Structure 1
Amino acid sequence: MRRPIVLAKIREIRKAKGLTLEQLSRSSGLSVSQLSKIENGKARLTFDTALVLSGLLKVPVTAFLSSPTSAPVARRSITRAGSGIVHNTAGMKFEVLCSDFREKRNVFWRVVIAGKTVEETGGWRSHPGEEFLFLLEGLLDIHTEHYEPVRLKPGDSILFDANMPHAYVSHGKRDAVVLMSNTVPADGELPTLAGQR
């Protein structure tokens, strides 16, 4: 349960910065009452509010949203360039990144997308969890069931519910290269690479 953590973190950081609730209220646009309720676990801390507070208090937003662990966590995983396990599918190449952790919340890939049509990239796919893409190279068209296709340029990113059928198409002469992350659902079911619905 997160509420006691919110209480400890926000109040502790606010006091360490020498701020009163009134001062934080004026800066954030949140009422003193609302801030007090959040600090006391009587109101839910939304992600948007956490972003506002983290900016004002100059701490990472994860300081408010992460749960404490019973023991210090000091895990890390490194994948050297080109050394990840590679899976080839129709029109796409997936390189698995930083896969050493036994208990995962996310799966990371470097994906090269060569297919120029939905069919060439294996068709529509869907799977549990969320999917995040950050375009590194080329141009990429993202097709989703409930939205018009959108074109990503290098530096663009997208996050969507991956159970919504989706497909990728490389646009232009160059292959599209993306950094992809998938959340791992509570049941531990990993997204399939084929993934067709």
Structure 2
Amino acid sequence: MSSRIRELRRSRGLTLGQVSKQTGLSVAMLSQVERGQSDPSLESLRRLAEALRIPLFDLFRTEGPEPVAVIRHDERRLVSTPHRHLTYSQVSRSGGKVEVLEGTLDPGAASSESPRTHISEECVLVLEGSLIVELEAIDYALDAGDSCHFDSALPHRFLNPHPEKARFIVSVTPPSN
């Protein structure tokens, strides 16, 4: 991933200083990430993907998309928050027109500190537990088997105020930054 970030930054003609200004991450931190000396948090990866204008999981891609991709459960790419309260595993291939992620959200956790926006559509399907989809400050309660499809340009995030872990699938098209 570290060499991919450097390659993407350079291909866009961006300096570490420019990426630092766009992401709010220090030049030193960015340099360490590019050299493989630091593992960025999920939030840092989101900021980098936004600055580089690519979907988050494309940071991990090494080649163009395969015409057929079988992703084994134990070989999925994972990203998580520092304390692992939120974990996403990539179910779909990188570089495709749709991104499918399996997420787990711990009790009392949220997918982000504040609602986020991006230019996509999302559909979330709760597999286990319960989840709140917060859209423009309105809460939509979902139980196992329920889904919610929405325009990702609306400020949104996922919340789990319940005592058990929530497991869900999120499909995003086009893949988000």
Instruction: Give the Å deviation of 1:92.
Output: 1.2
SS in 1 for 2:76: coil
Match of 1:109 in 2: 101
| Correspondent of 1:94 among 82, 88, 95 | 88
Whether contact under 8 Å (2:86, 2:109) holds in the other structure is no
Whether contact under 8 Å (2:103, 2:169) holds in the other structure is yes
Which whole-Å CA distance do the structure 2 matches of 1:96 and 1:107 have between them? 8
Aligned-pair Cα RMSD in Å: 2.2
Which whole-Å CA distance do the structure 1 matches of 2:75 and 2:113 have between them? 25
TM-score (norm 2): 0.56
Match of 1:85 in 2: 77
- For these two proteins, the number of residue pairs brought into alignment is 110
What letter matches 1:136 in structure 2? L
Instruction: Give the Å deviation of 1:172.
Output: 1.7
Deviations 1:100-143 (CA, angstroms, capped at 9, x unpaired): 5x4x210110011125255x743211111101111101110111
Deviations 1:5-28 (CA, angstroms, capped at 9, x unpaired): xxxxxxxxxxxxxxxxxxxxxxxx
Which whole-Å CA distance do the structure 1 matches of 2:107 and 2:113 have between them? 9
Match of 1:145 in 2: 136
Match of 1:179 in 2: 169
Matched, 1:156 2:146: yes
Shift in alpha-carbon separation, 1:123–1:137, aligned structure 2, 3 A: same
Moved over 3 A (4+): none
Whether contact under 8 Å (2:126, 2:168) holds in the other structure is yes
Whether contact under 8 Å (2:104, 2:167) holds in the other structure is yes
Which whole-Å CA distance do the structure 2 matches of 1:174 and 1:141 have between them? 13
Gaps of 5+ in 2: 1-65
Return the structure number with greater relative CO, CA threshold 8 A, min gap 6.
2
SS in 2 for 1:82: helix
Shift in alpha-carbon separation, 1:164–1:116, aligned structure 2, 3 A: same
Largest Rg, 1 or 2? 1
Match of 1:191 in 2: 176
Matched, 1:134 2:119: no
TM-score (norm 1): 0.50
Which whole-Å CA distance do the structure 1 matches of 2:165 and 2:108 have between them? 9
**Percent same amino acid among aligned pairs?**
20
